[in-house]
Structure 1
Amino acid sequence: VSVHASDTTYDADHVIVAVGPAAYRGLEFRPALPPQRILLQEAWQPVHGRKVNVVYDKPFWRAENLSGSALTDREAAPGVLDASPPDGSHGVLACYSTDDTTAVQDPESRKAAVLTTFADLFGPQALEPLHYSEKRWIDEPFHFGCEGGLSVGALTAARETLKEPVGRLHWAGVETADEWLGFMDGAVQAGQRAASEVIRS
């Protein structure tokens, strides 16, 4: 297998492709991939999101017997998780939201909306973090969205091709995971499965 990137060529006995389906749209395969594989890739609709981590001196919500997890109807923080280290040396609340074009675009206004939501959920201490971090994944040049979903009928039409090798090409994106699709555990599992396929080959 020859992989061409800019002016460089890499030759290998097998290639593991570990990118999301949306990233395939920028790759050229020769010979072309099977029609069902192309259907699956084209049908995947990526979602761009924003991840926020807010750090506090301690997980103060635990003193009130609160889990630090919540689901809301607020665009700024629709889902909140306690992401504190196991020893509780600091408190960390994390949330994820999609990058909707109708969402507040001003970073300071977004921060205020997130902290207000946290304060409404867990108390006024949430308004005084040590650190606030926001990551917009759309700003990453080689990130093509996360999770997302398939158009209607695509998975049932092309299900078997999701992780089935095509010749010497093996698929290991998180979308091919047997469990925890869309999560880090799923990415690791998919990579281990693809590596095992190559070793068996």
Structure 2
Amino acid sequence: MSIGIIGSGTLGSNFARALAKKGISATISNSRGPESLSTFVEEIGASIKAGTVEEAASADIVLVALRWVDLKGALSALPAWNGRVVIDGTNAVEFLAPDSPDATDARNPLAVYGIKSVDLGEKYSSEVFSQFVPGARVVKAFNHNPGEALLEPKVSGGQRVLFYSGDDVAAKAEVGGIIEAAGFFPVDLGSLDVGGPLASLPFGALSTHSFVKINE
């Protein structure tokens, strides 16, 4: 089983670090090319290599760790997914420039956090995300906590809980296995239309909360 990572920001890079700590192999990529990641992969260990977006996207399981506004441009030109597993690590939010009018808009309750919600109409985020990866088996995961949380699978005497959801049982099992192998405690929230909204920022009831499975 091969793992690819599209995006090397906070989520993508810390997911790679979590895998590297356990010696799990993966290919990480970004829009700037493998050369821009050479120092990073040298630092975190031999199990992680840098590749092109196309190389990362060809893996059996691919984490998409991109900003919402970049999804269409980054994913639209990639080859067919052909039933491979794609992990939706995104949230439907837009990051605001500090000097933009939106950053001080009193009508936006999220402005204080430097973000605003993207209007998806009546759709939930993974429903829209799935349109960018036709033919993939989508699993929602790794999006409900800050990316820095992936650096600490063990906290407060237990394991950090990571939620995941999806409509394909086998795909969820594979992602749950990666979560467990990386040292976290996986919790299946069910189907995409149920679990996805629960764990999605900014308004998901389970998002931004740090749950810990206490080991007996």
> By the TM > 0.5 criterion, same fold?
no
TM-score (norm. length: structure 1): 0.30
